[in-house]
Structure 1
Amino acid sequence: MKKFLLLLTLLFLNISFAQSKTTTYYFIRHAEKVDSSQNPDLSEKGLKRAELWNKIFSEISFDEIYSTDYKRTLQTASPTATTKKIEVKIYNPKTLNIDSFKRETSGKKVLIVGHSNTTPKFVNDIINQNLFSDIEDATFGNLYIVTIIDGIISSQLLKLP
């Protein structure tokens, strides 16, 4: 009888875990740019950082990749998108509906490339908290990871060099 109850418990736990829905968001800021003009390209250092992000993300099976419609964000997303054979989707942080975005990306692994001010705000909107502030101008290595498992949200900030 004890073995039967144990087996039944393990089966129930296995079914429960199998039905869990996990959504994971990876947020980064664009890499270093050549100048402060309206829509600059990445600098040589920025192109190297974009390749570094590609290496960092090598073991992650992204379902979708999002970027704002600027050269620097698209060039940051491009190496990872090319490697993963994923078309980059354009988003506008000014018109983005968070609830719609969360519904459309539910259960997926998503990379989002933004800016020093839009990335922390986007993370805060996803986690429903005002936890993260704008990124310093000279900081390009922040990686925000947000995981939602059956509605339970956790977030972390990794600071890479």
Structure 2
Amino acid sequence: MKYKSLLLLSLLLLTASLPSVAQQNSDITTFVLVRHAEKVDDSADPELSPEGYQRAERLAEMLQNISFDAVYSSDRIRTRETVRKIADQNSVEIVFYEPHETEEEVKRMLNSNTGKTVLVSGHSNTTPFFANELLGREHFADKFDESDYDNLLIITIAGGGESELLHLRY
């Protein structure tokens, strides 16, 4: 319980500061990266499990005060469903991206979203490397464990290219 309270406090402080930071410097781009929630099975394109839908709901509740300008997802049911409610809350369409073309996709997203707040739903074997590309350095040496669904990465990139990472669990 103490851990959840600390996480909630961190998120509240972050969400309270994002709009004022964005107003002060419209060159700051914020990316929120998540791995898809729990899947129902190991088939090629599974739905979320009941636990996965609960996690997606919890994510939407946690991020409800953040105004997202864009929501990206790989073209898989589990990644789309993880962020569908957030896209709906922000009245934006989910845009598909190719998670294995990390360098190209990061360039495209950065060019299209400078000064905006973006949510990206990916996979255990792509999200850490996507984060590394956004950061411009290797922070994650390996993929996330297959059983690890609760990483929430918040990356801010200033106009000069300086980047910061806030790595939370939810």
The residue number in structure 2 matching 1:121 is 129
Inter-CA distance 107–42: structure 2 relative to 1 (3 Å threshold):
same
Superposed structure 1 runs of 4+ greater than 3 Å apart: 17-20
Q: How does 1:3-152 map to 2 (within 5 A)?
A: 18=24, 20-96=26-102, 97=104, 98-132=106-140, 133-151=142-160, 152=162
Which runs of 5 or more residues in structure 1 are unaligned? 1-16
Counterpart CA distance in 2 for 1:86 and 1:20 is 20
TM-score by length of 2: 0.80
Residues 149, 137 of structure 1: alpha-carbon distance in 2 compared, 3 angstrom cutoff: same
Cα distance in 1 for partners of 2:32, 2:63 equals 10
Same amino acid, percent of matched pairs? 37
Matches of 2:146 and 2:165 in 1, distance apart? 22
Deviation at 1:44, TM superposition (A): 0.4
Q: Does 1:153 align with 2:163?
A: yes
Taking a change above 3 Å as real, the CA distance of residues 19 and 79 of structure 1, as seen in their structure-2 partners, is closer
Alignment size in residue pairs = 144
What amino acid does structure 1 have at the position aligned with 2:48? L
Whichever of the two has the greater Rg, that structure is 1
Alignment TM-score, normalising by the size of structure 1? 0.84
- Unaligned ranges ≥5, structure 2: 1-22
